[in-house]
Amino acid sequence: MKSFNKDPTAPIEPKENNEKTASENDQPVNSQATGKVVYLTFDDGPTSVTKNILDTLSQFNAKATFFMLEPAMRDFPDVVNKIIEDGHAVGMHGVTHDKNQFYDSEQSALEEMITAQETLQEITGVHSNLIRTPYGSIPYLTETYREVLDSNGFHLWDWNVDSSDWSLSDDQYVDSVVEQIEYLSSAGVTSIILMHDQAETANHLSILLTYLSENGFQTKKIDENTKPYNFNCYDRCHSLNP
């Protein structure tokens, strides 16, 4: 595990035992209001490297949310089950990941999410309503699309921290994420971090998690009762900290 020590004089806490102390558990109260909660999200999986991501998350007792593609779930059913066994949240990211096909009509978008939802349930027995649409909701997901997904019970999640892990090399995405988290945190805003289920991201995830741990951030998974964060606030959507 690489360590993340920007300040070599900073005290280093032992990381071997990630059990939270009772006092930490007793005071979760509203760390969300102070921006000390982050949501880690991984799109486009599962893949052959998801298990590495899960191992790293587990080392840090971190929780995440995986927005998965339907064909990938079929390819790696054991991994989908492992994600759930490890206590992470699962949601759907559609079937084709092709903007022309997914956004062809309200019906095509809805059908992709329902297909993915059914496959998830078939593999794991878990019914999820959490979705993230391919490339995020803007600009393709117009109001009528939102209404259709909403009326079918789906909870749409965008992000407010883009790791750019698909374009940055090595561990550069970590620096980018840290910079954005610090900015949002200073404004009291909870970070929802977009990452991808891929090797480069997995290889450097421990650096990000070390930073979060050493700076008092708590990772949370998205649950069905969390108010969704959307890029654009139409009348039904809410930012986490308006």
From the CB of 194, what's the least distance to Zn ion, in Å?
9
- Which of residues 44 and 158 has its CB atom nearest to Zn ion in the complex? 44
Tell me which residue of 32, 3, 2 sits closest to 240, measured CA to CA.
Answer: 32
86 catalytically annotated: no
How far apart (Å, rounded) are the C-alpha atoms in residues 85 and 105?
A: 35
**44 is a site residue for Zn ion (CB under 5 A):** yes
Interface with Zn ion by CB under 5 A: which range of 5-13, 41-49, 174-182, 213-221? Answer: 41-49
- Which of residues 44 and 70 has its CB atom nearest to Zn ion in the complex? 44
From the CB of 115, what's the least distance to Zn ion, in Å?
16
How far apart (Å, rounded) are the C-alpha atoms in residues 95 and 235?
A: 28
**70 is a site residue for Zn ion (CB under 5 A):** no
From the CB of 44, what's the least distance to Zn ion, in Å?
4
Contacts of residue 31, Cβ cutoff 8 Å, sequence gap at least 6: 37, 218
From the CB of 23, what's the least distance to Zn ion, in Å?
39
**197 is a site residue for Zn ion (CB under 5 A):** no
Q: Is 188 helix (H, G, I), strand (E, B) or coil?
A: coil
The count of chain residues that interact with Zn ion, using the rule CB under 5 A, is 2
Tell me which residue of 180, 201, 211, 199 sits closest to 3, measured CA to CA.
Answer: 211
HSE-CB of 34 using CA atoms within 13 angstroms? 9
- Catalytic-labelled residue, pool 43, 44, 171, 197: 43
Contacts of residue 155, Cβ cutoff 8 Å, sequence gap at least 6: 129, 130, 131, 224, 228
98 catalytically annotated: no
Tokens standing for residue 8: 């070599």
- Catalytic-labelled residue, pool 97, 155, 196, 204: 196
How far apart (Å, rounded) are the C-alpha atoms in residues 205 and 57?
A: 8
- Which of residues 165 and 214 has its CB atom nearest to Zn ion in the complex? 165
- Which of residues 43 and 165 has its CB atom nearest to Zn ion in the complex? 43
In the list 32, 35, 43, 229, the residue contacting Zn ion (rule: CB under 5 A) is 43
- Which of residues 37 and 68 has its CB atom nearest to Zn ion in the complex? 68
From the CB of 163, what's the least distance to Zn ion, in Å?
12
How far apart (Å, rounded) are the C-alpha atoms in residues 136 and 17?
A: 37
* Chain residues that interact with Zn ion, rule: CB under 5 A: 43-44
Catalytic residues: 43, 196
